[in-house]
Structure 1
């Protein structure tokens, strides 16, 4: 770790359980933490966020080495995990806490996110507008430990939930 410069990226893509695994095993990704961001409640719990009145979104905070995995590659991978045209949630998970967002930490991240969003909108992949907002990063609150790496800890439940969600079918229809 000595001598390496890591940066942070935070993305809301609906259920944070489904947003960890796609980023996990890439060279240059150091850590991924599930948590909450963007709301008005300090130290929210999963129940606070799930109720929908905390203002927070479920997010993943990614610590990465930009020399090995640049931010624009993170953005590309992020877009391929979500329905960027759905402002009401993601797949089976509905409500504000499951909506999408890109949270930027620097002006360069904001600029790259805006370019990426414009490019996606112009690509013709979707016939509806891209509604995922690009917002300044706020305080990140780590989710409870049982949410961390949920896809490993509760493999059967995770796989059943993901299969039922419609996420994989959507990804297959739009990105493969």
Structure 2
């Protein structure tokens, strides 16, 4: 009897209440954002530490070749950027705040590459859906005002297919810690970031 009463009440609720009210109690599905910022090993490692980020994947986007390889991208013939796809919990992390954190991880004044990595595939860029574009454009303008040196050159570009990188690139900072830290120090990434953003 009690079970029938619950079923009857639930049926009436489904008819009388709007779908958005019924769904309000459910957690929001994960959201994604795609960024380019030079070496994807560094971007993957740095963005993984942001609270609310669930997963960061290294890969390639923005080019004209299907299923590009690392060799294709670094040969500068595919048009792709080394990039990361960030999956995050929108209940814990706002896209605008994720953008704020992104800018501090790159030198957006350098459109010839990033740090010691030179060439078009290493340029900084934010890849957006139409819904993300207004937030990204506003964030870019605000970041430009905070720069200590240089002029904002990083672009906001339409999101294209994201191609995951080869397995040996994934979790590189964790799986090859000594090599990663030697590379990062030798590349001068952190020193340059202090010059660009201060601190």
TM-score (norm 1): 0.93
| 2:179 aligned counterpart, secondary structure | helix
* 2:61–2:83 contact (8 Å) kept in structure 1: yes
For residues 91-141 of structure 1, give each alpha carbon's deviation from its aligned partner in whole angstroms, at most 9, with x where no partner exists: 00000110110001242x211111111112223x23422010001110000
| 1:18 aligned counterpart, secondary structure | helix
Tell me how large the CA RMSD over aligned residues is. Answer: 1.4
Could you tell me which residue of structure 2 aligns to residue 72 of structure 1? 96
Q: Distance in 2 between matches of 1:144 and 1:41?
A: 15
Could you tell me which residue of structure 2 aligns to residue 13 of structure 1? 37
> Relative to total residues, which structure has the larger helix share, 1 or 2?
2
Unpaired runs of at least 5, structure 2: 1-25
TM-score (norm 2): 0.83
| 2:111 aligned counterpart, secondary structure | coil
Q: How many aligned positions are there?
A: 173
Q: Would the alpha carbon gap of residues 175 and 78 (structure 1) be closer, same or farther in structure 2, given more than 3 Å must change?
A: farther
* 1:80–1:175 contact (8 Å) kept in structure 2: no
* 2:100–2:143 contact (8 Å) kept in structure 1: no
| 2:125 aligned counterpart, secondary structure | strand
Unpaired runs of at least 5, structure 1: none
Could you tell me which residue of structure 2 aligns to residue 169 of structure 1? 191
Relative contact order, higher structure (CA 8 A, sep 6+):
1
| 2:148 aligned counterpart, secondary structure | coil
| 2:58 aligned counterpart, secondary structure | strand
For residues 152-171 of structure 1, give each alpha carbon's deviation from its aligned partner in whole angstroms, at most 9, with x where no partner exists: 11111100000011111012
